[in-house]
A and B are shown apart, each in its own frame.
Chain A
Amino acid sequence: MATIAFKQVSKVYEGGVRAVDAIDLSIGEGEFCVLVGPSGCGKSTTLRMLAGLEEITSGTLELDARRVNDCTAKERDIAFVFQNYALYPHLTVQQNIAFGLDARRTHKSALAALLRGNSDAMRAESRAIDARVATVAQTLGLEPLLARYPRELSGGQRQRVAVGRAIARSPKVFLFDEPLSNLDARLRIETRSELRQLHRRLRATIVYVTHDQEEAMTLADRLVVMHQGRIQQNATPAACYDTPANRFVAGFIGTPQMNLIDGDLSVQHGELGFESHGFRMPLAAHWPSLSNASPQSIALGIRPDRLLLSGASAHALPATVQSIESLGDRTDLALQSAWGRLVLRATPESVAGVREGDAVHVTLAPSHAHLFEVGEVGARVPTARS
C-alpha cells in the first residue's frame, strides 16, 4: 500500500514526440485509480513510467513520498499486469506465479545458504514459495490449473494467472495495462467485478489503464481522463460524467456520446439563447457568467437521455428519425436536424409510435445542457450550480 505522486512528469520520446506533458497527479493509499483516454493519449506511457519500464524525461515521480525516478522496476516493488498477460509460455501456471518470488530470492542469501551447506534454509525458502503460490491459486480459483501451460488456458484463465502472478508478491502497487481488452464482452464484465472485489479484499493501491470508458467508470475510485499527454480531468467517475471539465471529457465519457453542437451564444430581447444553423433555443439563467456576454461562438452539449420528444412549438427543434436502435430497456433514436445528427435516448414506451422516417420535434432541458468554449478541449462554462 502506497501513495503515488507525479509532479510535472513528462515523457519525450526520441524524435521529439511528447507522449506525456507535465502531468501532476497524486493517488492515495488504497485508491483504485483509472487512467482513461483514447489510444495515444499517454496513459500507457504514464503507467510504464510508474512501473519503471520507461524513463522519465523530466519531473519527479514519488512513491510513498520518496523520489523513485532512478529506481529500477524491482526496487519500486510494484506488480504489472500486461494487456497480453506476458505469461512465460514455457513455464507452467505454478512456475509462472512463482517466477517473481523465485527471482527475488537474493543471490547473496542463496549463495550464503549454499556455502554454509545450509540446504535446510534453501528448502524452507522453496516451501514458503510453494505455500504462497497455493494461497494465491486458491484466492483466484487457479488450483486445478497449476500444472498447465499458458497455451492450454482460456483467455479468462490466462488473465487470472497474470493477476495471480501480480498478487503473489504482495507488492505496494498494482499496475494494470488494459488487462481486459483481450476478453470477450461477457467475460470482461465478469472479470471487472472480480477485480473490484479483489481490490476491496487487498485494499491495495491500483493504477489501471483502459481506453474503455465504461470499464473506467465502473472500476474507478478516481478517474483520470487523459488526452494528448495531458490530464483533462481528475475526479470521481460521477463528477466526470455530470460536470465534464471540458468538451473532450464530455465527449469521451458516457455512452452514447454526448450530443455536441457548435453554435453562437447571443442575447436577443434580453434573453440568452443558443443558435446554430438558423435554429435558436433559449437558455435559462444557469450561466450567470454569460448573462451579459457579447455574442460569441460556443458549443452546446446535451446527453442523449436529456433530449426529449415534444410537440411542435417555436422552441422545439424539428428533426427526422433516421434509425431506431431498440435495446430492450431503452431505445436510441438517431435524428437528423438543423443542428446536425443528434442521438436521443428514451424509454421504449415513450417512443412506441415512432417509426424511421417520421418527423418529430425535440426539446432540451436547459438545466441539463452544458456549454463549452470553442476548441477540442474547450473548457466548461460553469453553471450556477457548479
Chain B
Amino acid sequence: MDSPLGSALRPLLRIARSALVFIAVLLTLAAFARVGWRTMHRDQERPNEKTLTVMHWSGDGGQEEDRIVEDALREFELAHPGVRVERINPGDAGSFYTKLQTMMAAGAPPDVFYVGYERLANFASLDLLLPLDSYVAQEAQSGKSDALDLDAFYPQTVEAFRFDGARVGSGTLYGIPKDFTTVGFYYNKDLFRKAGIAFPTSDWTWDEYIKDARALGALPGITGSEFVTWPVMVRTYLRTEGAEAIDGDLLAIRVEEPAARVALEQLRAWRHDEAHTLTSGKSKIATGASVFLGGKVGMAGPFGRWVVPSYRNIPSSEQGGFAWDFAPLPRGKDAANCVLTVSWSIAKNTRHAEESWELVKWLTNAKSQAANARLGLAIPTLKSVAQSPAFLESTLSPANNQGYLDAIASAQVVAWPADPTFEQLLGSTMDQGLKSGDLTIAQAILEFRAKWDAHVQFVPGGTQPMPMPWNIVSWIGFSLLALLLGWILYPWIRPPHALSVRSEERAGFLFASPWVLGALLFMAFPIFYSLILSMTDWQGVGPLSSAHWVGSDNYTQLIARDGRFHTSIRVTLFYAAIAVPIGQLLSLLAAILLAQKVRGIALFRAAWYLPSVLAGVGVAILWRWVFDSEGGLANRLLEMIGIAGPEWFGKDAAIAAPPAFALMSFWLIGGSMMVYLAGLQQIPKDLYEAAEIDGASAWRKFWRITLPMLSPVILFNLIMAIIGSFQVFTQAFVMTGGEPGDLTRFYVLYLFNHAFELYDMGYASAMAWILLLVVLVLTAIILRMSSRAVYYEAMKK
C-alpha cells in the first residue's frame, strides 16, 4: 500500500468499504422490515377478510386424510367469502401435539384444531379451549337448515368432549367429535379356516377368544393373537371383567381390587404361561398393528378402526395375502367397549370465534364425515352417516362394519385424569406385568401404586401456590442484562485509549457481535429462563401467567422423593460406566490401527467413521432388531457359542439393557476415533525415531511417548464421552421408549417425558439444571484428578 498506486487507491478503498457496510446494513434492515411488515400485515388483515388457522394430523390416514381436510377447507372458503383458511399439518399425532404445545405456550395456537379425547381433560383444565355450549344452543334456536344438532351424534362421542372441571363425560362442551372408533380384534379368516374354527361373532366371549387363540397357535409357525397392553386397552379389558383401574372420580386406584387382579393375572398367564397363544412380550421388533400384516398371527387387537387403511394393503388370498375381518371386543362378565374419538376444537383465545365455529360445523357436517368415512380410517360420529351406505356398504374389507356400531351399545368414553402421569404410569407398569413380564402382576400393581402415590403427594408450591411474579422476574432479568451490556460497553466508556487501539477493539467487537448476539438471544436467555422455570410449576402448554412460584419444590422432589428419577440416574450411570471407558479404549485402539500407513487406509478410516454420519433413528431401529430376544443377531451369536442370550429389553432389562445400549454406542466410536487419530498424527515423527534409536520397544514407545503425548486429547475425549453418555436419548426413545417400566429410561429421556408428554416444563427444567450441575461437578473432578496424568507440555511448542 505504500506504492504511489496504493495511496491513490486508498480513498477509493475507503469508499468501497463504506459502501459495503451501507449495503450490509440496508440488507439487514430490509430483512427485518420484511418480517415485520408481514407480521403487521397478518395482524391487520383487511376488514372484509378474516384468516383462520387450522391444524390437524394425518398419521394413519396418510396423504388421503391430508387431501380430504384440504378439500373440505377449500369448499368452506368458497361457501364463506371473506374467510381465508390456512392449514398446518405437522404429520403424525406426536408431531402435532408437540407443535400445538409450542404454539399454545407462545400464546398463538391455531384457531381450529384436532383434540384427541385423551388430551381433552388436560387442555380444558388449562383453559385453552373455547366452550361451545352457547354456540350449540344458538344453533338450536336458529332453525337453519345446516344447524348442528348434538342429538344427531353418537352420545358417547359428544360426552368425550365434555369436561366438568374434574373429569370428562359431562359438563362444558369443548369440541365437536369428527369421528370415532370402537375397538376389537382383527382376525385372519384364512387361518381360522385352516384351524377349522368358526369366525368370531359380535357377542363372543373371552373364553371363545382364548380357545380360538390356542387353536390358531397350534398351527405350525402361527401365534394365536397379538394383544396390546396399552393403558386404554387394559382399562377396557378390565371393564369387560367388571373391574376398573381407577374409580369414577378419577381419584382412587382400583387395580388392587380382586376382580382387577384376577383379570390381569389371567391375561399375564395367557401370554407368559402358554406358548404360541399370545405373541410374546420378548420381541420388540414388530409390535402393535403391524404384526398382523405378516399373516403369522391369527388375531390382533384390541385395535380401533385406524388400522384399516394399512390392513387394506394386505393382498387377497389369491395374491399371496389373506382375507381378514373385524370382531368387537369379546365379553367377559360384562360387555364393554371404549369410544376413542377426535374432535375439532377451537382455541380459547381465537379472534374469530364465530367463523371458527362455522368451520367446525362445516368440518363435522354430514358431507365432510361421509368423505372421511370413505377413507375407512374411522367411524362417522353422525349416526345418520355411520348408518348410511357411505360407511356400511364399502366394498373393501372389513366386511363387518356393523361390528363397530354394535359395540357402541356397551361402549363408554375412557375418562382420564387431567394429569397424563396416570396414563403413563399405568401403561409402563402394566407393560412390565403383562408384556415384558419382568414383574409379576402383584409387583406391577405395587410399583404402580408407589409411583402414583409419590406423584400425587407432590404438590409443588403447596395447596395455595403463589402466582409467578413475572414483573419482578423481568425486572431482575433486565437489570442483569443492563449490567451485562454495561460490562460489554465499558471499553468504550473507559478513558480513551489511543485511537488506533480503540478502532481495533471496535472492529473486534463488531466481528464478534453476530455470535455474541446469537449466544445471548438463543443460548444465554433460554438457559437463564429455564433456571427460572425450574422454580415454577409451568406446564409448557398454556400461557406463562398460569405458572406458579414453587421455589425449590421441584428440586427437593427430584432429589429426595422421585424414585423414577433415581432409576433414571442409575440406568444412566450404569450405561456410562460401561460405555465410557470401553468406548474410549476401543476408539483409541482403532485410531492406532488406522494411523498405520497401509494401502487403502483412507477406505478403512471412512468405513470406521461411516456409522457416525448415519441417521440416529434409522440406526436405532436396526439395532432393535439386533437385540431382539427372539432371533435377533446378538442372541443368535451368543447361541452359537452356547450362551442363552438375555431378553435385552424384556425380562432381563435391569441388567442387560444398559450394556446393550453401551454395545450400540461402540458402533459410534468414529467421532472420538477421529480426534484420537488427529492427536496421533500431531505427535512429531522424530520422537518415535529418537526412541527407536534409543532402543525403545514398541510397547515402551506407546507407553512413554504415545500415551503422554496424547493425554490432553484423551482427557478431552473422556470428558466429551461422559457428557455424551449423560445425553443418551435417541436410541432409548426409538428402541424402548424407556420401557420396560423405567429400566431404560435414561436421564434425558425422563426429562423429555416430563417436558413434552407429561406437561411438566418446570419439573423438566429443574432436571436439566441438575444434569448441568452433575456434569459440571464430574468434569471438575476429572480435571482436578487429571492434572498429574495429563502432560500439557505435549500441546505446547
A99: nearest chain-B partner, CB-CB: B694
Check A90/B791 contact, CB under 8 A, given A53-B689, A53-B693: yes
Question: Could you give, for residues 58-98 of chain A, a 1 whenever the CB lies within 8 Å of some chain B CB and a 0 otherwise?
Answer: 00000000000000111000111011101011100000000
- The answer to whether B793 touches A89 (Cβ under 8 A) is yes
**B194: interface (CB < 8 Å):** no
- The answer to whether B695 touches A88 (Cβ under 8 A) is no
Give Cα A99–Cα B703 distance, bound, in whole angstroms.
13
A96: nearest chain-B partner, CB-CB: B690
| Residues of chain A within 8 A of B711, CB atoms compared | 90
Choice from A100, A150, A169 contacting B793 with Cβ under 8 Å: A150
Check A103/B694 contact, CB under 8 A, given A80-B689, A82-B689: yes
| Residues of chain A within 8 A of B704, CB atoms compared | 88, 99
| Residues of chain B within 8 A of A78, CB atoms compared | 693
A149: nearest chain-B partner, CB-CB: B793
Give Cα A103–Cα B691 distance, bound, in whole angstroms.
8
**A123: interface (CB < 8 Å):** no
Choice from A86, A89, A104, A165 contacting B695 with Cβ under 8 Å: A104
Number of interface residues of A (CB under 8 A): 26
Choice from A73, A79, A86, A151 contacting B687 with Cβ under 8 Å: A86
Give Cα A82–Cα B708 distance, bound, in whole angstroms.
21
Check A86/B797 contact, CB under 8 A, given A100-B695, A103-B695: no
Choice from B693, B694, B708 contacting A90 with Cβ under 8 Å: B708
| Residues of chain B within 8 A of A104, CB atoms compared | 694-695
**A51: interface (CB < 8 Å):** yes
| Residues of chain A within 8 A of B47, CB atoms compared | none
- The answer to whether B696 touches A88 (Cβ under 8 A) is no
Choice from B686, B705, B709, B794 contacting A82 with Cβ under 8 Å: B686
Which of B684, B693, B695, B796 has the most A CB atoms < 10 Å from its CB?
A: B693
| Residues of chain A within 8 A of B692, CB atoms compared | 52-53, 72-74
B695: nearest chain-A partner, CB-CB: A74
**B352: interface (CB < 8 Å):** no
- The answer to whether B705 touches A88 (Cβ under 8 A) is yes
- The answer to whether B794 touches A80 (Cβ under 8 A) is no
List B residues 739-797 near A (Cβ within 8 Å). Answer: 791, 793-794, 796-797
**B700: interface (CB < 8 Å):** yes
Give Cα A172–Cα B238 distance, bound, in whole angstroms.
92
Give, as a whole number of angstroms, the nearest-CB distance from A245 to chain B: 33
| Residues of chain A within 8 A of B694, CB atoms compared | 74, 99-100, 103-104, 165, 169
Give, as a whole number of angstroms, the nearest-CB distance from B94 to chain A: 52
| Residues of chain B within 8 A of A165, CB atoms compared | 690, 694
Give Cα A100–Cα B687 distance, bound, in whole angstroms.
12
| Residues of chain A within 8 A of B793, CB atoms compared | 89-90, 149-151
Give, as a whole number of angstroms, the nearest-CB distance from B696 to chain A: 4
Give, as a whole number of angstroms, the nearest-CB distance from B769 to chain A: 38
| Residues of chain A within 8 A of B696, CB atoms compared | 99, 103
| Residues of chain A within 8 A of B709, CB atoms compared | 89-90
| Residues of chain A within 8 A of B690, CB atoms compared | 80, 82, 86, 88, 165
Give Cα A72–Cα B692 distance, bound, in whole angstroms.
8
Check A84/B791 contact, CB under 8 A, given A53-B693, A78-B693, A104-B694: no
Give Cα A262–Cα B63 distance, bound, in whole angstroms.
87
B705: nearest chain-A partner, CB-CB: A88
Give, as a whole number of angstroms, the nearest-CB distance from A148 to chain B: 11
Give, as a whole number of angstroms, the nearest-CB distance from B458 to chain A: 53
Check A73/B693 contact, CB under 8 A, given A86-B687, A89-B791, A90-B709: yes
Give Cα A264–Cα B229 distance, bound, in whole angstroms.
106
B791: nearest chain-A partner, CB-CB: A90
A177: nearest chain-B partner, CB-CB: B686
Question: Could you give, for residues 657-697 of chain B, a 1 whenever the CB lies within 8 Å of some chain A CB and a 0 otherwise?
Answer: 00000000000000000000000000010110111111111
- The answer to whether B705 touches A103 (Cβ under 8 A) is no
| Residues of chain B within 8 A of A151, CB atoms compared | 793, 796-797
| Residues of chain B within 8 A of A86, CB atoms compared | 684, 686-687, 689-690
- The answer to whether A80 touches B705 (Cβ under 8 A) is no
Give Cα A52–Cα B697 distance, bound, in whole angstroms.
15
| Residues of chain A within 8 A of B697, CB atoms compared | 103, 107
| Residues of chain A within 8 A of B791, CB atoms compared | 89-90
Give Cα A83–Cα B691 distance, bound, in whole angstroms.
15
Check A51/B693 contact, CB under 8 A, given A88-B705, A90-B709: yes
Give Cα A99–Cα B695 distance, bound, in whole angstroms.
9
Question: Could you give, for residues 691-722 of chain B, a 1 whenever the CB lies within 8 Å of some chain A CB and a 0 otherwise?
Answer: 11111110010001100110100000000000
| Residues of chain B within 8 A of A89, CB atoms compared | 709, 791, 793-794, 796
Give Cα A280–Cα B708 distance, bound, in whole angstroms.
69
Give Cα A107–Cα B700 distance, bound, in whole angstroms.
11
Give Cα A73–Cα B797 distance, bound, in whole angstroms.
27
| Residues of chain B within 8 A of A103, CB atoms compared | 691, 694-697, 700
| Residues of chain A within 8 A of B686, CB atoms compared | 82-84, 86
Which of B697, B700, B793 has the most A CB atoms < 10 Å from its CB?
A: B793
List A residues 143-164 near B (Cβ within 8 Å). Answer: 149-151
Give Cα A90–Cα B794 distance, bound, in whole angstroms.
6
Question: 21 A–B contact pairs at CB < 8 A?
Answer: A52-B692, A53-B692, A73-B689, A73-B693, A73-B695, A74-B695, A78-B693, A79-B693, A82-B686, A82-B689, A84-B686, A86-B687, A88-B690, A89-B791, A90-B794, A100-B693, A103-B691, A103-B697, A104-B694, A104-B695, A165-B694
What is the interface of chain A, defined by CB distance below 8 A to chain B?
Answer: 51-53, 72-74, 78-80, 82-84, 86, 88-90, 99-100, 103-104, 107, 149-151, 165, 169
What is the interface of chain B, defined by CB distance below 8 A to chain A?
Answer: 684, 686-687, 689-697, 700, 704-705, 708-709, 711, 791, 793-794, 796-797
Closest 6 interchain pairs by CB? A100-B694, A90-B791, A74-B695, A86-B686, A86-B690, A103-B696
Q: A52-B692, A74-B692, A107-B697 are in contact. List 6 more A-B contacts (CB 8 A).
A: A80-B690, A88-B708, A103-B691, A103-B696, A150-B793, A165-B694
